[in-house]
Amino acid sequence: MRVVADTNVLVSALIFPGGSPEAVYRLVLEGKIELVTSRPLLTELGRVLTEKFGWNSNQAEEAVAQLIRVAELVEPPDGRRARGWCADAEDQVGTVGGPKRFDA
């Protein structure tokens, strides 16, 4: 299964251990599900980690680099936000957090 995780889910997985977001991230690390992400989402993640949670830029860059290593990097179609879209419902891409749209 391919999953797009909302930025809030990724932040929670990295900062607040023991919850559902961390469980999803562990499934990604174990290769049981495939994480799909985009540059806009990763940029937002880095910004949130530094601006809202006080991570230094090296910490945020390492977190983003780890996601790049374990995720499939895609581009949102037609400049749409990474959250809540699926180019083709038959791709079986689910979203974790954020709005769920399969009519793009």
Per-residue pLDDT tens over the stretch 38-86: 999 999 999 999 999 999 999 999 999 999 999 999 987 765 554 454 4
Asked whether the CA dihedral 15, 41, 1, 99 is positive or negative, the reply is: positive
Model pLDDT, residue 76 = 77
Identify the structural domains of the chain with CATH numbers, from first to last. Answer: 2-96 (3.40.50.1010)
pTM beyond 0.85: no
Q: How far apart are CA 40 and CA 23, in angstroms?
A: 23
Distance (Å, rounded) from C-alpha 81 to C-alpha 32? 26
Q: How many CA atoms lie within 13 A of 49 on its CB side?
A: 25
